[in-house]
Amino acid sequence: MSDPPADEIAPPRLRTVGEEFLETGHVWLYEYPDGTPFEARLDADSRLQVAFAAGAQSSDQPRRWVDAEEAPSEFGFAVRTLTTQLDRRALRRAVDDPTAVRLRCIAVHRRHRGYDWSRAPPVVGVDVAYPGSELLPHELERAFEEFGVATMPILDTEVHVRDIELPGEAPPETQWGEGTAYGVLYRKKGGGVARAIAGEYAGEPPAVEPIRSAVAEYAATVASDDVLASFVQECDSSPSVSTVTDAVVDQALRAEFGRLTHSGTAFDIEDLRSALPQRVAAFL
């Protein structure tokens, strides 16, 4: 299969879909989060494969379908979440050909803004593509629930297009913390979807400084006793060193994506992962 263009993974911008989109009909409104769009699918052996939007990552990252374990390490938090939570059996039951299903998702992390990471899920479902079908908004919500994938916060339902306010006019607040939502997604009941980004987040993400401290020093910051205690409290049973290490790396990536992936940062993600287990084990 050919590489998915970025504009086929992310919903189109509202300004590009044409005036007719806002002339008639009703829409559901969702909070559209900051992060990186990607698609997911199952192969013939029910193995998870992913493809991240071209242009959403650095030039040395793939723009093609890859097995989940081969995905870029900076998106490990999203792949681990989907690998763990996706109900493959439910997906196979839903359609005749599960390999033809494309889950269009967003890996939620900081590009323009941060969130309360305990509230914002690592992955949210945006759309389900399957040949010959188009789901209504409530059907899409139910499908993602059955598949085990979180969805975007619903802002409003059954709103006539003439009654909606664009984000530039009255941007909503995020439901995952404080501040203005990154954007709004508009889904028409009769088919069609578009997104609008709040004015304060327009353009490229703000420049960030690389992390210049040694990996051990940074590991001590992101895996402080308070942080580790919070992860342990969230677990239903006694967590393993590996589980807590993954949680620390995932939260660090989501919160400081730009800095951790900066070419000037003194260490890479695998260096960070290697620096954590001993500290985590001592705490546990």
- Taking only the tens place, the pLDDT of each residue in 173-189 is 999 999 999 999 999 88
Q: Which of 8-12, 39-43, 90-94, 217-221 has the lowest mean pLDDT?
A: 8-12
Residue 167: pLDDT above 60?
no
Please give the Cα distance from 149 to 47 (Å, whole number).
16
Residue 1: pLDDT above 60?
no
Locus of tokens 């353009």: 203
pLDDT digits (tens, 9 = 90+) for 35-83: 999 999 999 999 999 998 755 444 344 468 999 999 999 999 999 999 9
Q: Are 227 and 248 in contact (CB under 8 A)?
A: yes
Question: Which of the listed CATH numbers 3.40.50.720, 3.40.50.2020, 3.50.50.60, 3.30.470.30 matches domain 7-201?
Answer: 3.30.470.30
Distances in Å between the alpha carbon of 198 and those of 3, 15, 251? 29, 13, 25
229 or 62: which carries more pLDDT confidence?
229
Please give the Cα distance from 271 to 191 (Å, whole number).
46
Q: Are 11 and 29 in contact (CB under 8 A)?
A: no
Question: Under 8 Å CB-to-CB from 23, ≥6 apart: which residues?
Answer: 161
Question: Under 8 Å CB-to-CB from 92, ≥6 apart: which residues?
Answer: 42, 46, 98
Nearest to 228 by CA among 192, 187, 278: 278
**pLDDT for 208:** 95
**pLDDT for 3:** 38
Rg of the chain over all Cα atoms, to the nearest angstrom: 19
Three-class secondary structure of residue 8 per DSSP: helix
End-to-end CA gap in the chain = 45
Q: Where are the domains of the chain?
A: 7-201, 215-283
Proportion of the chain above pLDDT 70, given as a percent: 92
DSSP string, 244-257: HHHHHHHHHHHHSH
Q: Are 43 and 202 in contact (CB under 8 A)?
A: no
pLDDT digits (tens, 9 = 90+) for 111-145: 999 999 999 999 999 999 998 888 889 999 999 99
Q: Are 263 and 68 in contact (CB under 8 A)?
A: no
Reading the block at residue 192, the tokens are 């069609």
Find the angle CA(196)-CA(199)-CA(200) to the nearest 5 degrees: 130
Report which listed range, 5-14, 18-27, 153-162, is most confident.
Answer: 153-162
